[in-house]
């Protein structure tokens, strides 16, 4: 619960900061500096993908088990 509250607080602060900055093509950068034209792709390592998949599965199973326990009560 604390993590969720903290995550909402961080998102709210980021959203508020985005509204305060002037609207431009690259917000947050000074007007004399432009963003680079090229975009570099970063690929996920197979082990990183596996770790993410396992974490997602654990979280889904945890939610499923909590739901079953609440339903049994």
Contact present, 26 and 34 (Cβ < 8 Å) = yes
At 21 the pLDDT is 54
Neighbours of 31 (CB within 10 A): 8
- List, for residues 9-48, the tens digit of each pLDDT value: 766 777 655 545 555 555 555 565 666 678 788 888 999 9
| Residue that is written with structure tokens 């002037």 in the block | 22
Q: How far apart are alpha carbons 52 and 50 in whole angstroms? A: 5
Query: Is the full-model pTM beyond 0.95?
Result: no
At 70 the pLDDT is 79
């Amino acid at each position: 619960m604390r993590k969720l509250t903290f995550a909402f607080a961080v998102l709210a602060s980021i959203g508020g900061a985005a509204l305060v900055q002037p609207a431009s093509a690259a917000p947050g950068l000074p007007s004399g500096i432009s963003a680079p034209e090229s975009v570099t792709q970063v690929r996920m390592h197979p082990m990183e993908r596996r770790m993410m998949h396992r974490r997602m599965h654990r979280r889904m199973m945890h939610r499923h088990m909590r739901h079953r326990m609440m339903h049994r009560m």
